[in-house]
């Protein structure tokens, strides 16, 4: 079963606009999101035994993944033993520690040049660290960035010939406040910190939408409503905050099919997973309503979204700490 998820690739962040309201729970549960599977599947790696047995990933957090340009898929996750050790697995193979580091939040990963770039927040100095990795690398060499946060960062790739341009979004350190910050990486150096016109008590999420050449940052405001801001690529100006709505915990998940988008989030009422679909103009599809996961799946952690060939998948963690995925949107 785990072989099927090797064909997925991660996109992180969020896009939405306009007022969004939670649908009636009964009707939403019955209808589901367009193209949504009813059941979930396990995310797997191989252990270090002579037989290399398949083991389902367990994590205190949500697994993330990204694929290299050559098609190699990296899963990364935070350990489930309360120690916060970061682990990785290439193509569902044997798990390995990511440089022996620990974090209070799940790491994130994005395609970067011929490999992938990994990011995590240090639990004591609160600096964000990053590293470059490919399947041939032995060990993970982390580099400290000057950016500080007590929450996990979010990163998205900006299309370029080199494939090495990124945008990083994060919440400022608690000692400073609750503002959302961002930095552009041009392939050689990190740019000046940008202040986004928003604040959050959790972590923001970021994505790039090629349809309108915008970098989107989404967050959950102090009232538990989803909000977002955008910046047109090439501009240093951020839009004012746009209210999306809902009553959810942050961070939230996002992916684009290339035209339409989907948002996934964890309800504040009962930890259930809900979805809503957004058109390329930022307006809600299907009446702008949210639909509850058809299986009734709940999570104490949150949801990441992944996309491949125009199909969106959700990645989450059950209350049993088992990592799960399923198709959640066909783009229609």
pLDDT in tens, 99-111: 889 999 999 999 9
- CA 102 from chain centre, in angstroms, equals 19
Q: State residue 15's pLDDT score.
A: 33
CATH of the domain at 130: 2.120.10.10
Name the most confidently modeled range: 136-150, 250-264, 312-326: 312-326
Q: State residue 31's pLDDT score.
A: 66
Split at pLDDT 50, 70, 90, the class of 18 is: very low
In angstroms, rounded to a whole number, what is the distance separating the alpha carbons of residues 11 and 232?
Answer: 18
| Beta carbons of 204 and 218 less than 8 angstroms apart | yes
Domain count, the chain: 1
Q: State residue 9's pLDDT score.
A: 38
Mean pLDDT of the chain: 87
Its pTM stands at 0.89
Q: State residue 330's pLDDT score.
A: 94
Taking only the tens place, the pLDDT of each residue in 162-192 is: 999 999 999 999 888 899 999 999 999 999 9
| Beta carbons of 295 and 279 less than 8 angstroms apart | no
b/e for 138-150, b at 16 or more Cβ within 10 A? eebebeebebbbb
Percent above pLDDT 90 for the chain? 67
Out of 28-37, 123-132, 215-224, pick the least confident.
Answer: 28-37
Q: State residue 117's pLDDT score.
A: 97
Name the most confidently modeled range: 51-55, 304-308, 314-318: 314-318
Boundaries of domain holding 91: 2-329
In angstroms, rounded to a whole number, what is the distance separating the alpha carbons of residues 52 and 298?
Answer: 31
Statement: residue 11 has pLDDT above 70: no
């Amino acid at each position: 079963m785990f072989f099927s998820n090797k064909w997925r690739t991660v996109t992180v962040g969020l896009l939405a606009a306009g007022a969004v309201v939670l649908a009636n729970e009964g009707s939403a549960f019955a209808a589901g999101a367009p193209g949504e599977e009813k059941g979930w599947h396990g995310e797997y790696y191989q252990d270090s035994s002579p037989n290399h047995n398949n083991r389902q990933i367990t994590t205190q957090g949500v697994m993330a993944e990204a694929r290299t340009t050559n098609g190699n898929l990296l899963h990364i996750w935070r350990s489930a033993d309360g120690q916060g050790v970061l682990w990785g697995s290439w193509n569902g193979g044997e798990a390995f520690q990511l440089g022996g580091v620990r974090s209070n939040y799940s790491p994130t990963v994005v395609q970067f040049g011929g490999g992938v770039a990994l990011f995590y927040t240090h639990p004591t100095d609160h600096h964000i660290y990053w590293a470059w990795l490919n399947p041939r690398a032995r060990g993970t060499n982390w580099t400290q960035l000057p950016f500080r946060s007590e929450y996990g960062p979010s990163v998205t790739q900006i299309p370029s010939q080199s494939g090495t341009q990124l945008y990083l979004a994060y919440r400022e350190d608690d000692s400073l406040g609750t503002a959302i910050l961002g930095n552009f990486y041009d392939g050689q150096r990190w740019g000046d910190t940008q202040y986004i016109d928003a604040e959050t008590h959790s972590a923001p999420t970021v994505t790039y939408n090629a349809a309108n050449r915008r970098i989107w940052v989404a967050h959950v405001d102090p009232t538990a409503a989803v909000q977002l801001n955008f910046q047109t690529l090439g501009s240093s100006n951020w839009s004012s905050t746009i209210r999306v709505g809902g009553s959810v915990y942050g961070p939230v998940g996002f992916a684009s099919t290339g035209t339409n988008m989907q948002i996934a989030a964890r309800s504040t009422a009962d930890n259930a997973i809900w979805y809503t679909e957004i058109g390329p103009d930022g307006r809600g599809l299907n009446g702008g309503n949210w639909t509850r996961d058809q299986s009734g799946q709940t999570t104490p952690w949150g949801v990441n979204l992944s996309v491949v060939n125009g199909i969106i998948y959700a990645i989450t963690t059950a209350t049993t700490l088992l990592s799960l995925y399923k198709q959640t949107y066909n783009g229609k």
